[in-house]
Structure 1
Amino acid sequence: MQPTFRPHRLKRARKIGYRARKATVGGRKVLANRRRKGRKRLTVV
C-alpha cells in the first residue's frame, strides 16, 4: 500500500496559499475573517 498523504509545498501553496485565496470571492472572505479574528498568519503555507 502507498501512503495516502504525500506533502508537497508547491502543490499546497497553489491550493490554499495567499494568492489562491485572493483569486476567489470565497477565499477573500476567508482572509477577511482571519484578519478580523487577528490571526498572526493568514495562510498556513
Structure 2
Amino acid sequence: MPIKFKTKNKRRKKVHGFLKRMATGGGRRVINGRLKKKRKKVTV
C-alpha cells in the first residue's frame, strides 16, 4: 500500500477494528475516500 499509516496509536486502531477494516476492500475504499478529501487525520 502506498499510504503509510502512523503506527503510534496501534492499540487504539486495533480497538476500533482499524486493521480488520483495512483487510476488507470496502473498508480500504472508505479510508481512501477520506484521504482524498484531504483530511489530515484519518480516523476509523
Scaled by the length of structure 1, the TM-score of the pair is 0.50
- The match for 2:16 is 13
Q: 1: distance between equivalents of 2:16 and 2:33?
A: 19
Identity %: 45
Of the two, which has the highest radius of gyration? 1
Instruction: Give runs of ≥4 in structure 1 deviating > 3 Å.
Output: 9-12
Structure 2 gaps of 5+ residues are 1-11
Alignment match, 1:22: 22
Gaps of 5+ in 1: 1-8
Shift in alpha-carbon separation, 1:10–1:29, aligned structure 2, 3 A = closer
Cα distance in 1 for partners of 2:28, 2:20 equals 9
Residue 37 of structure 1 corresponds to: 37
Q: Which has the higher contact order (CA 8 A, sep 6+)?
A: 1
Structure-2 separation of matches of 1:25 and 1:10: 17
Kindly tell me the number of residue pairs found equivalent between the two proteins: 33
